[in-house]
Structure 1
C-alpha cells in the first residue's frame, strides 16, 4: 500500500513533469487496441491498453484518481513495444509518456535494501561500463567452455530458477574469449568501390555476447563499400535505464555516446539491434531541454541507420549474389526497429534476394515476441504467453530459419524453438548472420 504522503508526491510530480498536451492528444478512438499485445492477452481489459494507460496517467495528473498499485502494475505489464504509435491517428508519442510515468513512479517506489543494491549494481555499476560488461560476459564464456554448464544442468541446479530462465541458459550464444574481443581492430577498410565511411554502434551485449554478429555486420558493410570505424569510449545505449525509470542515468550515457561518435566524423552511424536503434533515435527527445546538447543530439540522430537500410541504400542485394540451400525462411520484426525506426521493408527485401530460400511472411510478424528488453525476466508469465502464441504463427510458416534484427528478439525466438522442441530442426538467426552465411554459400558453390 502506498502511503498518503507518497501519493501526494507522485501526483505533484505527474502534474509538473508529464507532457499534458501529449496526454490530451489521445482521442480515446481505440485504434490502438487491436495492436496492443497485453490488451489482447488480458482479455481486452481497458487498463492494459495504451488508451487505458494514458487515461490512468491523465487521471493522476488531473488529481481525479490517486496513484495506486493498480497504476504501477498496469504500466509495468506494458511491453513498451510501441505498436500503438504507427496506428494512432493523432500521433500520440505513447513511448515518451510511458517512460516519463515510469521514471516518476520509480523515484517514489519503496524498495527493499536488496532490490536497491541490485538496481544500483545493474544500472550504475555494470551497464554504463563496457569493460565490466566484458568481464561479466567473460565469466559466462568460461562457464560455457569449462563444462560447468553441463554439470549445472545435470545436477539440477538450473531447476532452482524459473522455467523460462533455465531454458534461456541453454540457448545463449557461445561467448568468445575476452582476448578475442580485445584484439579486434577498430578500423576496417572497404572492399571494391568506396561509398561511405560509417561508425558502428557496437552495443554492450552485441559486442560481447553477440560478438560474431557484430563481426558479420562489419563484413557486410565492407562488402557494401564502407570504411568502418568502431568509436572508442562508446557505451550501452541507455535503453535499459530509460525503460526502467532511470532517465537521468540514460541522459549521462547519451551524452558520452554522442561525444564518442562526433570524434569518428562518419557519414552514418550504423546499428544492428532494433531496441538500441530506437533509443538512440530518441536522444534528441531525451536531451531536448539541454541547449548545450540538443543540437548535437539532432546531428547524431540524423546519421542513424539500421544495417538493413544502409545495405538496401547501397544496393548490396543487387551487386552481391546470395544463396542458401532450398528452405523456407520467415522474419520476426523487432518492435522498435519497425515502430520507431520505421524499418521493416528493408530486411524483407534482403531476405527475398537470397536464391534457394523461399520467404514466407509470418502472420503477426509485426507484433511483439515477448522479449521487450528485460520484460521476459521481470514479467515471465506474460512473456511466455505471448511467445507461445508467436510460435504457433512460426509453425504455420513451416520455416527452417526464423530471422530477427535484435538480440533480445533473437534470444526469445531461440527460447521459443527450445520450448516447442524444434531444436535442430529450426534455427533462429540475426539477419546479419543469415546474409553472411548466404554470401559464403554462394562463394562455396562458385569456388
Structure 2
C-alpha cells in the first residue's frame, strides 16, 4: 500500500498536468495508433486511453496497478499520434515520464534487475564493452560456429523470435576495424560545410559499414567531418525504458563532447537516435544550466539526408542503379519527431533508372520500436504482418529505410515471407553510396586521422 501511495505521489508531482489536460479526447490519434488497431479497438491501448490512465492516476481515480503498467508498456512509442493531434499533445514525453516513475517504484525479481543492470548500466554506456560484445558476434559468424549451431539445431533452444532475430543480423566487422575509427575526414569536394558526426553505439559497431557509407557521402557532398572520440550512446534505449537518470548521464556526456566544436551541424543517420538527441532538453527540466546547454546542442542535430540535400549532393553527383522498383519505409522517429520525410525521398528519386513507389500505409510502424520486437514479440509480429501485406501488394525489389531497427525488422519480415531472393532491404546511406559512380568513390579520401 505504501508503495502504491508513493507512485501516486510521484505521478502527481512529476507528470505535466497541462499536457495531460491538453488532450481533448477527440480521437484523431486512434487510426494512427498500431496497438489500438491491432488489439481490436481497445481504448486503453490508444494514446487517448493511455493519457486517460495517466490522468486517472494523477487525480487519484485509478490505481497504478499492473494493468496500467501493461498498457503503457504495450505502446510502441512510435509517436504517430503526435503529428495528427490538433492540440499538439507531446504524448512521447508523458509516456517516458510515466514509465520512469513506474520503473523506479517497481520491485523486479533478482534476475530481471541483474539483466537490466547489465544492459543499461554496464554495456551500453561503455563503447569498449559494446565493441567487445559485437566482436563475439564476429567470431560466431566467421569461425563456423554459426553453421555448427544451426547444424546441431542448438538455435532451436532459443525463443523463436530471438532465433529469427539472430539469423538476420548483418555481417559484423572485425575487432580491429571497430577499434580504429577516424576522428576527422576531409571533404572530397570543395568545402560547403563543417559538420560533426554522431556515430552512436550499435551504429558504429554492428552497423559500421552504414556509418562508413554515411561518412563517404558527407565527404562527397563537400563536408569536413569531425568525429569526437568522447561521444557515446545517445541514451534512447534508457529514456524509453524507465532509466531516465542514466539517460541524463549519457546526454551530459554527449553534450560535452560536441559543444566546443565549431561546426554547422551535428549529423546522425539513425532515426531513433536522432529523435532522442533532438529532445535532450526535456531531460533537464530541473537543471536550468544543462537545459540551456542541451538546447544549444539539439539546435544543431540534423539527419544526414537533410545535409546531403542542403549541399546539393543529389544534383552534383550522377547517381545511378540498375532498373528496379524501390520503396521507402519511413522511420517513425525520423518522421514523427524530427519531422523529416521529404529529404530521403528526394535523394532516392534522384537515382537514375529506379522507379520509386510509395508504400501503402507508410506512416504505419513496422513493429521494431527499439527493443519492442524482443519484449513484445507477439504484437510486434502482428504489426509486421500487416506491414508485409502492404510490401507484397507493391512487390518492390528494393526496400529502403533510415533506421537500424526498422532495417532488421523489415529483413525479418522479408525472410518470414520467403522473399529473400526477391526483395533487398537496405539503409538509405548504403543505397546512395551504391549508386555513386565507382571513380568518385575512389577519388581521394581527404585527410583523416583516428
> Is TM (by shorter chain) over 0.5?
yes
Q: Which runs of 5+ in 1 are unaligned?
A: none
Determine the C-alpha separation between the residues in 2 that align with 1:247 and 1:216. 32
Structure 1 match to 2:113:
116
Superposition deviation, residue 342 in structure 1: 0.4
Q: Choose the corresponding residue for 1:134, options 124, 128, 131.
A: 131
- 248, 251, 266: which one pairs with 1:251? 248
Instruction: Give the 3-state SS of the residue equivalent to 1:228 in structure 2.
Output: strand
The answer to whether the Cα contact below 8 Å between 1:191 and 1:225 also exists between their aligned partners in 2 is yes
| Equivalent residues of 1:278, 1:341 under 8 A apart | yes
Q: Distance in 2 between matches of 1:387 and 1:417?
A: 10
The alpha-carbon distance between structure 1 residues 234 and 443, as it changes in their structure 2 partners (threshold 3 A), is closer
Instruction: Write out aligned runs for 1:130-279 (5 A).
Output: 130-279=127-276
Q: Distance in 2 between matches of 1:185 and 1:232?
A: 9
Aligned equivalent of 1:320: 317
| Correspondences of 1:302-381 after superposition (within 5 Å) | 302-381=299-378
Output the CA distance in 2 between the equivalents of 1:150 and 1:265.
Answer: 49
| Partners of 1:157 and 1:84 in 2: CA distance | 42
Cα 1:438/1:374, change in 2 over 3 Å:
same
- Runs of 4+ aligned structure 1 residues displaced above 6 Å come to 441-444
* In 1: Cα distance, 2:64 partner to 2:202 partner: 35
Aligned counterpart in structure 2 of residue 27 of structure 1, from 21, 24, 28: 24
User: Out of 293, 298, 310, which is 1:296 matched to?
Assistant: 293
Secondary structure of 2:211's partner?
A: helix
Distance 2:375 2:180 in 1: 35
Q: TM-score, normalization: structure 1?
A: 0.97
1:283 matched to 2:280: yes
Higher relative contact order, structure no. (Cα contacts within 8 Å, ≥ 6 residues apart): 2
Q: CA deviation at 1:288?
A: 3.3
Match of 2:381 among 354, 362, 384: 384
Quick one: structure 1 residues 368 and 139, their matched pair in 2 at CA, closer, same or farther if it must change by over 3 Å?
same
| SS of residue paired to 1:263 | coil
What is the match of residue 444 of structure 2? none
Q: 1:95 to 1:9 in 2, by over 3 A?
A: same
Check 1:69–1:438 CA distance in 2 against 1; reply closer, same or farther (3 A cut): same
| Structure 2 partner of 1:41 | 38
- The CA RMSD over aligned residues, in Å, is 1.1
Question: 1:264 aligns to what SS in structure 2?
Answer: coil
Tell me what 2:12 maps to.
15
**1:180-207 C-alpha deviation (Å, 9 max, x unpaired):** 1222321100012101111110010000
Comparing 290-299 and 336-345, the one that deviates more: 290-299
Aligned-pair CA distance for 1:169: 1.1
CA distance, structure 2, for counterparts of residue 36 and residue 211 of structure 1: 32
Q: Report the CA distance shift for 1:351/1:442 in structure 2 as closer, same or farther (over 3 A).
A: farther
1:158 offset after TM fit, Å? 1.2
- The alpha-carbon deviation at position 101 of structure 1 amounts to 0.3
Q: Could you tell me how far 1:441 is from its partner in structure 2?
A: 6.5
Query: 1:310 Cα shift?
Result: 0.8
Q: Tell me if the contact between 1:322 and 1:441 (Cα under 8 Å) persists in the aligned partners.
A: no
Distance apart, 1:397 and its partner CA = 1.4
Distance in 2 (alpha carbons) for counterparts of 1:265 and 1:112: 47
Q: Distance in 2 between matches of 1:10 and 1:67?
A: 7
1:389 Cα offset (Å): 0.9
Distance 1:173 1:12 in 2: 46
Q: Secondary structure at the match of 2:263?
A: coil
What is the aligned length? 441
1:442 shift after superposition: 8.8
Distance 1:441 1:412, change over 3 A: farther
The Cα shift of 1:313 comes to: 1.1
Cα contact 1:324–1:442 (8 A) shared by 2: no
Alpha-carbon distance in 2 for matches of 1:133, 1:181: 10
Q: Distance in 2 between matches of 1:62 and 1:431?
A: 46
Q: Separation in 1 of the partners of 2:151 and 2:90?
A: 48
Provide, for residues 364-418 of structure 1, a one-character-per-residue CA deviation record: whole Å limited to 9, x for no partner: 1111100000000000000011011101111111101110000000010111111
Q: Specify the alignment match of 2:412 in structure 1.
A: 415
> How far apart, in 1, do the equivalents of 2:193 and 2:402 lie?
22
CA positional deviation for 1:5: 2.1
Deviation of 1:296 after TM superposition, in Å, equals 1.1
Q: Deviations over 1:5-35 (max 9, x none)?
A: 2211111110011001100000000000010
- The CA deviation at 1:443 is 6.4
Structure 2 alignment gaps of length 5 or more: 442-450
